[in-house]
Structure 1
Amino acid sequence: MKYLCEGLVAVVLGASLLWGNPAGAATFTELEPNDSIATAQFLNSSDSTINVIGTKNNTTFQGTPPNDTADYYSFFAAAGDLFDVETSVLQALGSSNRDTILALYDPQGGLVQFDDDSGVDASSLISAFLIQNSGTYFVAVSGFGDPGDPLNGGNGIFTGGGDSNFRYQLQIRRVPEPATLLGLCVLGGWGTASRFKNKQRRNLHV
């Protein structure tokens, strides 16, 4: 049992070196103006998880002045990385004001992924998106009914409008690739086996 625990510790330590400590995830607060790709708020962090707290509201909400535009953020991603991008509504004025939409754009500003309701409770989720080219990527958060909503014939460039008056969390997570996880497990198993063999050798010499 002792050697199994040591092997698991090796896996955990290896994962923390590669992806950072999830408990130390970076958290940002939305900074206006960030209503377009050109004015996107850059999330300057190398943590494996980035959280952003933002507000979309057409009336004063929790002390935040009205600002019903879409919210744009940017982050750096390396080729080969896998990302989950997800919204969750933290507070809303009414039960109907909870429907977010989410878009991901490449470094040239082209729409590469869109989602409406794949998350929890009408929130949005883009799952395991593979980064093809290193660079700065953009994420936009808005409400269902935004004129840019592709589901309603929009061009995928959010401007605002639609569902509003909610505070949300945007989370950008780098996802470990299966092959890398397998490598960490092999590393942990190798360490466990080596320790066990060493103990056997010591016992033979007693």
Structure 2
Amino acid sequence: MEAWDAFQAEGLTVDFVTPEGNAAPINVTEAGEFRSRLYDADLMYALGHTYTPSQIDPARYRAVYFVGGSNAIYGVPENTQLQNIAMHVYERNGGVVSAVCHGTAGLVNLKLSDGKYLIGGKRVSGYPEEFERQDAAYFKEFPFLIRKTVEARGGTFLTSARDKGYVVVDGRLVTGQNYLSAKQVAEAVVDLLRKSADQQAR
């Protein structure tokens, strides 16, 4: 929720979107510090009532943030409506596209209007397969591997120590290696939005 905090502190409105508009899953057993958020009525309502992609008018948005968690590798990368939203924000609105941890999976199929991959020729981070428990059942179910796919799309995949936050900013593309990078990614997005607003005000 560090990203939520960073966006809220900047006075930005945050809308949650999921492929089916379902309630976003919340796991409080592994992150005790999140339990106090259960009493944040606005946040809990937003997470419990996410938008479907068809409910989103991309012209209204300045940034897209693909959250992490291994579920992000399912249902998100192949969703063409989500792809269209992200690319509208990036190309037509001059906005920012960002992702953290497994959320980078949401970037791998994004294409520019010229047909080239957004991540082609860009520096990208995310949660690589070498950090996964490759002997675990969940890993064997993955439809693709993040590092391998980013590199196949022409991106340069960068990581740091697995227990450290790490963020890569390449133009208006911001990516983070793991959940420890969530706040840093959000802050980098905010910084880019500020600079864009300053340029437009001149």
TM-score exceeds 0.5: no
Using CA pairs below 8 Å that are at least 6 residues apart, which structure has the higher relative contact order? 1
Length-normalised TM-score, structure 2: 0.26
TM-score (norm 1): 0.25
> More strand per residue: 1 or 2?
1
Structure number with higher helix proportion? 2
